[in-house]
Amino acid sequence: MRVAVCLVLGSGVLFAQAGETPKYTGPGSCASPSCHGGVQVRTTTSVQQNEYSTWVVKDKHAHAFAVLTNPVATRMAKILGPDKLGSAKADTAPKCLACHALSVPEADRARTFDSTDGVSCESCHGPASNWLGPHTTKGWTHERSVAAGMRDLRDPVHRAENCLTCHLGTADKAVDHEMIAAGHPDLYFELASFTAAMPRHWIEHAADDRTKEDPFADVRMLAAGQAVQLREQLQRVARNAQGNSWPEFADLDCFACHHSLTNAENSWRQELGYAGRRAGNPPWNVSRYAVLRQIVNEMDRENGRRLETEVDKLYAIMSSGNPDRNQAAAQARTTADVAGRIAQQMSTAAFDQARTQRLLKAIAGDGDYISRQGERAAEQVTMALQSLYLAYSAQAHPNNDTQIRAAIKALFQQVENPSAYNAAKFAEQMRALKQVLP
């Protein structure tokens, strides 16, 4: 049950001693109407003060725990069993609760709260005991909260890292091929699109002026998010290469195998051939590189060439059918280092209308390469193009806005059914989009 509580200044929970190990206080600690539990947006304060209310009423994260009791989750738990999940039921399984709830040990809790609240405030903002009280005082700054343990989600790299702990996984939070086979959705993510889909309870400020909103914040978020998710994917490959099951099929392109088997004369895959691998060897999933390659080329061509070289090396190893563990791990780590440096570069890069327009054209013009990388790459690109165009059109107001939006919508229709994805048709629609872009 979610209960709004009044925050009593001076309580032990709210004003923890500096240097204490931060602990979780639960979503109720943020829910006072005078703090983040208001109904209406307040414009005279630095935050909207209805953040908790927005989350609990509108945000799907608030219902993340509830899905663990639905028929699909129940069937998954039965298939996988307690040896895999840690429990016979999904709603009590540590492997499931790690991402579907704020599930932390009792020793890490400053007060009692209910994990059935789902993915709540501290799942993203971090344990609040050391900053919860102080951050309500006059003159307190965001930087002081970060120093006290709050996660700095204003930084797009940190934001992407935080989201990807569940939307891609870590050593402790992993959705592998076995879980996908049992019914868990394959994980995909694009920071700007997923952020836009959330009911917004924050303000995106300009990096150089906290008094102004940044009209191209989503473009910076897209760029940094693409680099971070590639880096995290590469680190996952390196981890999996040292694991028990290898190759881990969740690292590969799912739909290279999971698609309808048509007559040979109707197969776009057989028509295109299997460049860089033997027929029958599922390729490494390069969807998290498909957009980034054009962004890096726009920002820093030398880094773009370096990243392309390293990605190509890993693709050859991972798409060989029986990749060498040590080679894969070493190459994945090397490539991750490059992607990590690019992520930091993107987090502070300047994006404006002209650069956003160039990115739109460059990505739309890369349809032949992107389409051949499979449905997941096409999906990433479609989400990215929408994010870029929304930012661009809000400032440029192109005369053919309706036509451009229709072309992007047609791309989404191409990736609605992953198993029925057709590379040639997607490439054709990319060309159609490029023709109508200003």
C-alpha to C-alpha distances, 330 to 240, 310, 318, nearest whole angstrom: 12, 11, 12
State CA 210 to chain mean position distance.
Answer: 25
Q: How far is CA 7 from the centre of its chain?
A: 33
What is the chain's pLDDT, residue by residue, as a tens digit (438 residues)?
344 433 433 334 444 555 678 899 888 788 677 777 667 777 667 776 778 788 888 889 999 999 999 999 999 999 999 999 999 999 999 999 999 999 888 898 888 788 888 999 989 999 988 988 888 888 888 899 899 888 999 999 999 999 999 999 999 999 999 999 999 999 999 999 999 999 888 777 655 555 467 899 999 999 999 999 999 999 999 999 999 999 999 999 999 999 888 776 678 888 888 988 999 999 999 999 999 999 999 999 999 999 999 999 999 999 999 999 999 999 999 999 999 999 999 999 999 999 999 999 999 999 999 999 999 999 999 999 999 999 999 999 999 999 999 999 999 999 999 988 999 999 999 999 999 999
Q: Using CA atoms, how far apart are residues 381 and 368, in angstroms rounded to an integer?
A: 12
CA distance 310 to 335: 5
Nearest to 182 by CA among 334, 76, 53, 298: 76
Look at residue 206 and give its three-state secondary structure. Answer: strand
Contacts of 284 (CB under 8 A, 6+ apart): 251, 252, 253, 314, 315, 318, 319
Residue closest to 240 by CA, chosen among 341, 323, 184: 323
| Contact between 358 and 315 (Cβ < 8 Å) | no
In the chain, count H helices and then E strands: 19, 2
Closest CA to 429 of 345, 371, 380: 371
**Which helix (H) or strand (E) element contains residue 420?**
none
Confirm if 77 and 88 have CB atoms less than 8 A apart: yes
pTM, to two decimals = 0.90
Distance CA 187, CA 176 (A): 10
What are the structural domain ranges in the chain?
1-61+116-149, 177-436
410, two tokens:
């047609």
